[in-house]
Amino acid sequence: MPPNLTKPDSGFTSKQSPLCTFVSLIFLLIIGFYTLHYPPGNPKKVLLFQQIFLSSASNSTIASYLRSLTSHPHLAGTKPSLETIHYVKTHFQNLGLETHTVPFQTLLSYPVHASVLMHFGNGTVLNLPLNEMGIPSYPSSGLIQPYHAFSPSGTVHGKVVFANHGREDDYRTLGLMGVNVNGCIVVIRKGGGLSRGAVVKIAEKKGALGVLMYAEGDVSKGSFGSGVERGTVMEGVGDPLTPGWGADEDGERLKLEDKKVLQRFPGIPSLPLPFESAQLILDSLGGPLAPQEWRDSGRSNLSHVGSGLVMVNFTYQGEKKLATIYNVVAVIRGLEEPDRYVLMGNHRDAWTYGAVDPNSGTATLLDIARRYALLMRKGWNPRRTIIFCSWDAEEFGMIGSTEWVEQNLVNLGAKAVAYLNVDCAVQGPGFFAGATPQLDNLILKVTKKVQDQDSEVVATIYEKWKTMNGNNIQRLSGVDSDFAPFLQHAGVPSVDIYYGRDFPVYHTAFDSFNWMINNADPFFWRHVAVAGVWGLLGLHLADDPVLPFDYLSYAKQLQEYKDAYSRVLDGNISLTPLAASIQEFTSAAKQANEETKKLMEQEFTNDLLALKIRALNDGLMLAERGFLDTDGIKGREWFKHLIYGPRSNYESGLEFFPGISDAMAESKNMSQKDGHAAIKHEIWRVARAIQRAAAALKGELV
């Protein structure tokens, strides 16, 4: 067990051994020596601070943070959430950090009443349970009943059809069986890659009256019952009343009935169900037999798809209202480049207790702040400014982070180096990372320095990760955490890291501290590992004289994307503009790498060298902005990034160049001439974006 890591059965009390005390004294002596003999920013001194950061890990400290954060539910905009805001703010202030809260007044959504009744042919009525089973009293615990935020209110009555995951191809399968969902209530099994909002929108388009959704994961762990997965069904991100600008208390707002606002919400009601309640409905279905693959893909006892003799009466009443949310921001000013920002963020709000989602990330962020403050007491000052961001109302649609990005868009565009996001720091075993490609090599470098506690033998995260999935770094095309506004709207290079692919108590009342210590991370070693990677990424980006970006990784990825489209596009559609722009970008990336090597080989710092490094860093920082397009993605114009962003064509499997993917799908409903023209236009748009990025990287006017 590494130093300062204690087992949970010790009450998470951190006891430092004599050896650790001796090592700490040695570190203090070395720090004093280096402070006297090496100037600020010296590589040897920077390396020493990184080593001290890693050695100051404490699983007991992170555990204590998480226990406090999850002592009660803290849904955004509710009174209990104010205690969590105060806890995070006080923590930063007690560390001596410059701290403030940033309030926004935004539209949020809460449940008032819900019921689902099954009406049988013999006249009996069954009122289905809607809350988690095993939770004795919702009001006394502070839990809010399961619901879908921003679902419209309504009462619907009809027969039921099971539509699997609610994808377009699922409805096509039903159609081939002669099953029509028009005028019915559809039951959806969560999964299939679609957001809740997209599932409800598709059901609405098919003529369904309402949607009942359940999660099938086995959430029975020891004394835990079956959970109900809450979530939002709003389309897009940010406050729907202030699209494109920050939701200041006295600022402009659209009306709730405005067309731009209404199109963000589904037109039919939806509600999450406990698995057991969903199973009762599925057991009542008649009609055709379900396809074998539908029956084999889950744990539901599914036989028929519907409809049967049983009718369902489904009522949901919700309330949309303005509520004040609070971001908490803490700052460590950079010594040499205070106008360059490295942002580290996690959201704080939770549907329930939020031990995994999101407060495993919050506790980890608080511990990084503690360790950075320790470094400052030992003489460290970052070269660039580090900003800790604790976001509010992420669960409603990345509202807190989006409003802040919109409010600070110009300064972020000019000064943000990178955004490092952690949402659910620990969900279970296995390290995962997502990033924009210029950060790939830095992630690999850092994971070689942090020990993986899941290994039976001593191994780094890099080594264990390599055996698991070959150090595969995912891309950030999804709109599922707070990196979305930074990357997809502001063009800031971004990272998202976590342990565990998913977890069975997602968005349920069982996402608690007890579940964490009994299942996901009993000894909080995985939390320590995430903190190590996250914190070292921050130190490198804040301290390295030349930003550790390698755009050759980006160029390679772009080439792979072009090749993927060449395999699926009509042969009459040329990808020559794309190929030419990628070649230009590759040349710029090579030039930047050569300049980096040349500047880093110079031993003495002078004003001219500092200016050259600053100019190179500007190009490295601003290149990502080149991928933005002022017109945005067609139909989702707020999303400006043409390489990574949401797409409407989920069936293609192409999670990059969303504009091209969407144009391919739309072309099926056009003449060949018009369809080809639409696709070619999107190809040219992407090509121009890559050219802009290349020009920014070179730092030259065309």
In the block, residue with structure tokens 């400052």: 376
Cα–Cα distance for residue pair 482/496, rounded to 1 Å: 9
Give catalytic status of residue 249 as yes or no. no
DSSP 542-556: HH-SS----HHHHHH
Residues 581-592 as b or e (16 or more Cβ within 10 Å = b): bbebbbebbebb
535 near 527, Cβ under 8 Å?
no
Output the 3-class SS for 553-579.
Answer: HHHHHHHHHHHHHHHHCCCCCCCHHHH
Residue 143 DSSP one-character state: P
503 near 520, Cβ under 8 Å?
yes
User: Cα 160 to the chain's mean position, in Å?
Assistant: 34
The conformational region for residue 445 under phi > 0 = left, psi -120 to 50 = alpha, else beta, is alpha
Element (H, E) at 98: strand 98-119
Residue (of 591, 670, 674, 685) closest to 634 by Cα position: 685
Helix (H) and strand (E) counts in the chain: 23, 16
In this structure, which amino acid lies at residue 616? L
| Tokens coding 406 | 């919109």
Q: What is the pairing mode between strands 384-391 and 416-421?
A: unpaired
| Tokens coding 349 | 């709000």
203 near 166, Cβ under 8 Å?
yes
| Tokens coding 475 | 């891309």
Residue 17: Cβ-neighbour burial (10 angstroms; 0-12, 13-18, 19+)? exposed
Cα-based angle 545, 547, 549 (whole degrees, multiple of 5): 150
Is the backbone peptide bond immediately before 307 cis, with ω within 30 degrees of 0?
yes
3-class SS shares of the chain: helix, strand, coil, % to 5: 45, 15, 40
Residue (of 110, 88, 405) closest to 245 by Cα position: 405
| Tokens coding 204 | 């609405």
Residue 490: Cβ-neighbour burial (10 angstroms; 0-12, 13-18, 19+)? buried
Cα–Cα distance for residue pair 533/451, rounded to 1 Å: 10
Cα–Cα distance for residue pair 528/27, rounded to 1 Å: 21
**Annotated catalytic residue: which of 132, 229, 337, 394?**
394
Element (H, E) at 28: helix 18-37
Q: What is the pairing mode between strands 125-127 and 98-119?
A: antiparallel
Q: Which amino acids are annotated catalytic?
A: 394
